[in-house]
């Protein structure tokens, strides 16, 4: 059974006088009741709504935030759900339209309906209804474009618990290997906070890193549009890297005086890592180690391209390390121990492995190479969806089965 909603908009051009008059009269009577009750309770201490904030003395200080309380703003993400619980995530734009098999509706109409409202595509009586909801991080991750399988919401919260990132704005520094599609990077960025927290995300495949950067930027733009007074502006994305070429000796001489954009960005990233953080680099580095190649910085997330096993990392700089790799022992048992040395003593290190044989190989590699890590626990999260109706109560036919094993280690 569908619940009645106060805001109901239709995109049809047919006229239904009796129904419209009934809706208008009911809305007018409801508005009259709200206005009378608000005038009688004007001296109470209850919080004011978005419509009342225009008349309140403090509306000037809270107008930037109260604008998206009831209605989304252009630039924000919204979620539309139909009667089959099919979900559509979109970013509202003034000149865009949402199109399905049922019809087309302008984004401006969705904005006017507001959160909790309903829009109809097609006939007013028999048209398909869509519910307008706020977009959660789970909705965004499940609907965003991807090139790699994301870490599903059933595993991500417990991984944050393993990494001791249960409190928001913890201000911790986290090292992530395997950016993938950026799903768990968003969870980490939300957990460490934007004040003092940092997330360093590495990936060796450029196509994965590009998709992760795009997805993280898309969510940060939504946060920026909904709370501009809290979220600072995002920097422009860097230009795509040009393919390497072999310059002539004269060009090489010119490049000595004026470095190329790619080399200058690498120098800037090195200076950021060594000087701004004021952290000593690992002294056990060998000739094969290289400086991390900083590709882009978005708020509290830094994306690096390259192999983490060869990267030169600050010693005991990170509060937690997360490895989403097929062979995590390659970066754990490498001779320099860069990843292990970059973790603070007693800090957690978590791995996500789909096969149990990988866990056996990981334990054997840690023991044979005397790596200072202790396996605390190995967990598999079981998740069951249920269907609750007035006549039935049973597990859903569509279930999420095995995704991966979560390995919790400690230095």
pLDDT at 327: 93
Q: How many CA atoms lie within 13 A of 89 on its CB side?
A: 18
Predicted TM-score (pTM) above 0.75: no
Q: Hey, how many other C-beta atoms are within 10 angstroms of the C-beta on 171?
A: 14
136 three-class SS = coil
pLDDT at 226: 86
197, 206, 228: which is closest to 300 by C-alpha?
197
Tens place of pLDDT per residue across the chain (411 aa): 333 333 444 444 333 444 444 444 444 344 444 344 444 434 443 333 333 333 433 333 333 333 457 889 999 999 999 988 899 999 999 999 998 888 889 999 999 999 999 998 876 666 788 999 999 999 999 999 988 888 988 999 999 999 999 776 678 999 999 999 999 999 999 999 888 899 999 999 999 999 999 999 999 999 988 887 777 777 777 776 555 454 444 434 344 333 434 433 333 443 444 333 444 444 444 446 788 899 999 999 999 999 998 899 999 999 999 999 999 999 999 888 999 999 999 999 999 999 999 999 999 999 999 999 999 999 999 888 898 989 889 998 888 888 999 999 999
pLDDT at 3: 39
82, 79, 78, 90: which is closest to 128 by C-alpha?
82
pLDDT at 318: 96
Q: Which residues contact 369 (CB under 8 A, 6 or more apart)?
A: 333
How far is Cα 192 from Cα 302, in angstroms, rounded to an integer? Answer: 13
Over the stretch 135-154, which tens digit does the pLDDT of each residue have? 999 999 999 998 888 898 89
Residue 81: exposure state from Cβ atoms within 10 A (0-12, 13-18, ≥19): middle
Q: Which residues contact 257 (CB under 8 A, 6 or more apart)?
A: none
Over the stretch 81-131, which tens digit does the pLDDT of each residue have? 998 889 999 999 999 999 888 888 999 999 999 999 999 887 666 678 899
């Amino acid at each position: 059974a569908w619940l009645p909603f106060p805001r109901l908009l239709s995109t049809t051009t047919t006229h239904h006088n009796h129904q419209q008059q009934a809706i208008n009269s009911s809305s007018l009577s409801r508005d009259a009741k709200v206005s009378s009750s608000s005038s009688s309770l004007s001296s109470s201490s209850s919080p004011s709504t978005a419509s009342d904030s225009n008349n309140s003395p403090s509306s000037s200080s809270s107008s930037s935030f109260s604008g998206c309380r009831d209605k989304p703003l252009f630039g924000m993400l919204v979620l539309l759900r139909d009667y089959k619980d099919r979900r559509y995530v979109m970013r509202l734009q003034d000149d865009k339209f949402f199109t399905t098999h049922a019809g087309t509706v302008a984004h401006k109409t969705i904005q006017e309906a507001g959160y909790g409202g309903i829009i109809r595509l097609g006939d007013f009586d028999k048209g398909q209804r869509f519910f307008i909801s706020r977009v959660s991080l789970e909705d965004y991750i499940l609907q965003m474009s991807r090139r790699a399988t994301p870490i599903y919401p059933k595993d991500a919260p417990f991984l944050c618990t393993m990494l001791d990132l249960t409190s928001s704005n913890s201000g911790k520094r986290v090292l992530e290997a395997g950016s993938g599609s950026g799903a768990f990077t968003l969870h980490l960025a939300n957990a460490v906070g934007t004040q003092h927290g940092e997330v360093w995300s590495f990936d060796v495949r450029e196509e994965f890193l590009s998709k992760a950067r795009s997805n993280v930027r898309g969510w940060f733009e939504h946060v920026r549009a909904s709370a501009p007074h809290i979220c600072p502006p995002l920097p422009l994305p860097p230009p795509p890297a040009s393919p390497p070429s072999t310059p002539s000796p004269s060009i090489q001489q010119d490049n000595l005086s004026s470095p190329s954009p790619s080399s200058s960005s690498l120098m800037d990233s090195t200076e950021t890592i060594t000087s701004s953080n004021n952290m000593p680099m690992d002294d056990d580095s060998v000739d094969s180690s290289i400086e991390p190649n900083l590709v882009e910085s978005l708020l509290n997330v830094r994306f690096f391209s390259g192999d983490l096993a060869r990267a030169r990392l600050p010693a005991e700089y990170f509060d937690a390390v997360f490895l989403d790799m097929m062979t995590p022992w390659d970066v754990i048992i490498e001779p320099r121990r860069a990843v292990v040395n970059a973790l603070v003593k007693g800090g957690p290190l978590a791995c996500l492995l789909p096969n149990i044989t990988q866990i056996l190989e990981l334990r054997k590699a840690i023991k044979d190479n005397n790596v200072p890590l202790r396996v605390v626990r190995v967990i598999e999260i079981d998740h069951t969806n249920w269907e609750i109706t007035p006549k039935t109560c049973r597990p859903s036919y569509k279930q999420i089965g095995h995704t991966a094993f979560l390995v919790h280690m400690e230095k």
